[in-house]
Structure 1
Amino acid sequence: MKKLIAIASAALLVAGATPASTRKSRADNDIILHAFTWSFDTIAANMKQIADAGFTYVQTSPANTCFVGEDGGMALFSQEGDSVKGKWYYHYQPIDWQIGNYQLGTRDGFRALADSADRYGVKIIVDVLPNHTAFDRTAVLPALNNAAGGHENLYHANGFNNITEWNDRLQCTTGAMGGLPDVNTENPGFQHYFLQYINDLINLGARGFRYDTAKHIGLPSDPLDPRSKQNDFWDIATGRKGVRGLSLLMPDSLFIYGEVLQDKNVKEKEYEEYIDQTASAYGHELRQALENGKADIAALSDWHHPADPSHLVTWVESHDTYANAHESAHLTDDMVRQGWVWLTAREKGTPLFFSRPAGRTPEKYWGNNRIGARGNDEFFHPEVVAANKFRRSMAGQPEQIGTLDDGTVLYVARGCKGLALINISQKPQKIKMETALPDGTYTDSVHGLTFKVKKRVLTGKLTPTSSALIF
């Protein structure tokens, strides 16, 4: 029998682990589909398939009024000579906080999306980005300027100076990120105006928010910008505090998490008191294992984050790793699926599946290159669907994770109810391992593979770069 390297996560205090946050832990069966650049109408039209695939949340791209670039062209990313112009990132350049933009759809379209989600039992997360405005400050609309008490008051005193030292918290939370002017998120007028937008989304049906560039918005312990009296944005954004008579609606029913990319001096523990966070370092470790076709279980058992793992959003890749530096775009869809099975089979973390563009290849990142269109078919691939159903079926079951001794096969055992086997190599693998599953013959629901358990020893085979879910 091959040697097993196993870790019982419930009993292990891994490096970096800390006591649980005082905030309520999330359910361990939630699953997010990131419908990257899908229009509101497209998401609504595909809601039944999203629900049937086992996703409990769908995350939209930013819904706010945004900068209109390249004459409103709808390409994901145009290059010199392309007949259709455009860039996906224009909806990450706010010019006002009203629902609707030329890339994703109207306020009525969002309402219809929310109605469709409710019909199929799926909840909506909206990506929001109060940290900055568009590069072109002249495009900012008068209502937003007026709410902040004038255009200059909309920004931090340091807000036009580019960040040069990313681990300096004053620069990080008040300076311009990549040239994007940094909003004074502590300005009560801005806070009130932004919160009206958030509450409008909630009234239409949103039930969660992803805060873009969250680590660039100050915490109470951070140094103050000269134009700010107190760093209270997160108290207001999470409903602990009101502003000018307005408070966040239904704060206890919302899933709020932030893009807190890990680095030195990020203060993850203080962010944890307010919001869930992205497990960016863990995603990097997982991609390394997938790329190598071999995993170090010690690296994958450590969440590489000081927050309680029940407050982490996990991913194989994000829209940033795919669309910015293309760090993950070369990974094959098969590789991404095996990483997804690993994350989704695990007890902790809320996994997020990034929907890649339709028609994409490792060489052609943008695929069919259209904003608003549905992504490729991977979100309802049988392996993805099986992993999602496995997760929901295993809710409440403790996990044990491990690898076979050469690291090519990962496994996640959930009590005595289920087992996920993941071959991340490009060769077939014979499986012989101890298991808590009862004796019997099991058939994997995706590939129809047969596994036998006799005297608590499981035997079977895995095809290259594939998984088996036994439950």
Structure 2
Amino acid sequence: MTHARTTRSRRRQAGRAVAAMAAAGLTAAGLVATATPASSEPSSAAEEPAAAADVAHGDVILTMFQWTWTAVAEECASTIGPAGIDAVQVSPPQEHIQGAAWWTSYQPVSYQIESKLGTREEFEAMVDACGEAGVGVVADAVINHTTGADQGAGTGVAGTSFAVDDFPGVPYTAADFNDCRENIANYGDRDEVQNCRLVSLQDLRTGSPDVQDKIAGYLNDLLDLGVQGFRIDAAKHMPAEDLAAIKAKLSDPDVYWVQEAIGAGGEPIQPSEYVGSGDVHEFDYARQLKNAFGGQLAGLRGVADGKLPSDQAGVFVTNHDTERNGETLTYKDGDAYRLATVFMLAFPYGSPSLYTGYTFDDKDAGAPGATATSVPDADCDGGAWSCIQRDPAVAGMVRFHHAVQGTDLTDWWDDGGDRIAFGRGDAGFVALNNGDGEAEHTYTTSLPAGEYTNVAAGEGAAATYTVAADGTFTATVPANSAVALLPAGADG
């Protein structure tokens, strides 16, 4: 284990070294040019099997919604690894019902690693390819339920038959599901939320040791394939103690673990219940970003107030659910979405998750070209996929995030409205302008005197700035843009 972790660390460092060498390219407008990843192993280790980078709290994770395993593998090598992104979160890999809609991926019928996104062999090849690029893989784990009772009987994408209360591919029978056979109607009732059906999805009896063993067997299979973490779908609908018991049965009980536990005022189940077994996604953070970037930024100084502790919070600007229900910013918000992502990567709170999906008008629509049993590879050149990992400002801010890791918030400034700035100790400084016009200001920082590179620069923005001996510098920040300073030549 020690040698494997050392190997993974070298791979991650190699990926970040490539990012540093490409830093000048990240300050140009347009998409990041793809690059061939540098060799991450000395010749003596060339024959070792690929091993993904260890995923830890604080790392940058890119959620690749409905990307095929083949496309993820290619993107890890060409863009994600060189950009310094630590891990990718992939869509659920288990067998599911047939159908072109995206949500079919969230209706399991067996725990085979066979889905419309690819085969088991392609999944394993993806994990290996991403590992060679210094990128870990986090799998979206759907373990609260199977497919919906409204589906009746049918056949999954890999040919496994199923019926209500009968899933021979696992196997699950009636005894493996909770006794409540009604849909959740009252979110103020803890028992109903955690033991009844979420929109008809058949609710597993996760308190049963037998069910826990079957779920843990599935997750252990993914760990054996090299997966480095899990996003636990619908965690709120399972008691926290059930999830802790499942995690304790894993071959690596310390694996990265982030849970979807959506908090709402007045409800009995709160996200804080789940921090005992891992991180929890902080939905209120994303909601506050939408409010701020649609109004005024000055209030973001207190964005962490009243939320989960930073070392237990997973943060995001959008995810596959919230971009469809209007709860958060999305790619459709253009510059505001981009700036909110810059802020998330710069501000010292939580573990940031980026998001790349596809454009849509129908919220149920599957990925472009999806059929009942397959999805074409993502194409970042045609405009149908959002591909945020190729945005130069975002890629530059990943570099910023790593360079300032572990430093405190300093030197906050705002104009009371749409313009803010803050430092990360003596390591970096960022200024954001969410207004319609450019803004010039002289900022006071804790940075040492010297030359600095704007890693968030886009078209029309200056690439370098000089910080004076008193820690000040003057910048004109273009409308709907940002300046993020790192020492010139720093590798992030």
TM-score (norm 2): 0.76
Instruction: Quote the offset at 1:308 in angstroms.
Output: 1.7
* Secondary structure of the corresponding residue to residue 55 of structure 1: coil
Q: Using the TM superposition, give the Cα deviation of residue 248 of structure 1 relative to its aligned residue in structure 2, in angstroms.
A: 0.7
Which of 118, 131, 153 is equivalent to 2:175?
A: 153
Alpha-carbon distance in 1 for matches of 2:166, 2:342: 43
The 2-side partners of 1:367 and 1:148 are apart by: 27
Offset of 1:406 from its aligned partner?
A: 2.5
Retained in 1: the 8 A contact 2:127–2:137?
yes
2:276 counterpart residue number? 273
User: Does 1:165 pair with 2:165?
Assistant: no
Q: Is the 8 A contact 1:333 1:378 kept in 2?
A: no
1:64 alignment partner, SS class: coil
Alpha-carbon distance in 1 for matches of 2:401, 2:480: 20
Q: 1:205 aligns with which of 226, 232, 252?
A: 226
Once the two structures are superposed, the pairs formed by residues 126-145 of structure 1 within 5 Å of their partners are 126-135=139-148, 136-139=151-154, 141=162, 145=167
Q: Distance in 2 between matches of 1:44 and 1:322?
A: 25
Alignment partner, residue 292 of structure 2: 289
Structure 2: runs of 5 or more not aligned: 1-54, 155-160, 379-384, 487-492
Q: How many residues align?
A: 405
**Residue pair 1:313, 1:349 contacting (<8 A) in 2 also:** yes
Judged with a 3 Å threshold, the aligned counterparts in structure 2 of structure 1 residues 410 and 108 are, in CA distance, closer, same or farther, namely same
- The one-letter code of the counterpart of 2:393 is E
Distance change (3 Å), C-alpha of 1:284 and 1:298: same
Kindly indicate whether the alpha-carbon contact (under 8 Å) linking 1:294 and 1:425 is maintained by their aligned counterparts in 2.
Answer: no
Q: In the alignment, what sits opposite 1:373? A: 377
Distance in 2 (CA, whole Å) between partners of 1:188 and 1:315 is 33
Change (3 A) 1:92 1:360: closer
User: Which secondary structure does the structure 2 equivalent of 1:65 belong to?
Assistant: coil
Aligned-pair CA distance for 1:459: 1.3
Per-residue CA distance 1:50-86 (angstroms, 9 max, x = gap): 11122101000000110112xxxxxxxxxxxxxxxx2
Q: Percent identity?
A: 24
C-alpha displacement of 1:98: 1.6
1:275: how far off?
1.9
Unaligned 5+ segments in structure 1 are 1-25, 70-85, 221-232, 240-246
Pair 1:434-2:444 in alignment: yes
Report the counterpart of residue 315 of structure 1 in structure 2: 316
- The two structures, once aligned, show a CA RMSD in angstroms of 2.7
Change (3 A) 1:149 1:97: closer
Provide the C-alpha distance between the structure 2 equivalents of 1:203 and 1:456, rounded to a whole number of angstroms. 50
Aligned partner (choices 58, 70, 74) of residue 41 of structure 1: 70
Is the aligned partner of 1:390 residue 2:400? yes
Residue identity in the other structure for 1:317: T
Task: Indicate whether 1:465 and 2:487 are aligned.
Answer: no
Tell me how far apart the structure 2 counterparts of residues 361 and 292 of structure 1 sit (CA, whole Å): 25
1:360–1:172: structure 2 CA closer, same or farther, 3 Å change rule?
closer
- Classify the secondary structure of the residue corresponding to 1:171: helix
Instruction: Find the residue that maps to 1:402 and give its secondary structure.
Output: strand
| Kept after mapping to 2: 8 A contact 1:147/1:189 | no
| Deviations, residues 320-357 of structure 1 (Å, cap 9, x unaligned) | 11134575347423222211111111233110011031
Distance 1:408 1:197 in 2: 47
Deviation at 1:273, TM superposition (A): 0.7
SS of alignment partner, residue 98 of structure 1: coil
**1:191 and 2:205 aligned:** no
The alignment status of 1:97 with 2:111, answered yes or no, reads yes
Say which SS state the counterpart of residue 292 (structure 1) adopts.
coil
Residue 281 of structure 1 aligns with an amino acid whose one-letter code is D
Q: CA offset at residue 199 of structure 1?
A: 0.7
| Per-residue deviation, 1:369 | 5.8
Q: CA–CA distance in 1 between the matches of 2:166 and 2:411? A: 50
Residue of structure 2 in register with 1:412 after alignment: 422
1:360 Cα shift? 6.0
Indicate the SS of the match to 2:109: strand
Residue equivalent to 2:244: 235
Calculate the TM-score normalised by the size of structure 1. 0.79
CA distance in 2, matches of 1:449, 1:406: 27
Q: Deviation digits for residues 413-460 of structure 1, max 9, x if unmatched?
A: 111121122222222111222211123443413343444433232211
SS in 1 for 2:147: coil
Q: Which moved more, 1:111-120 or 1:148-157?
A: 148-157
Find the counterpart in structure 2 of residue 351 from structure 1: 352
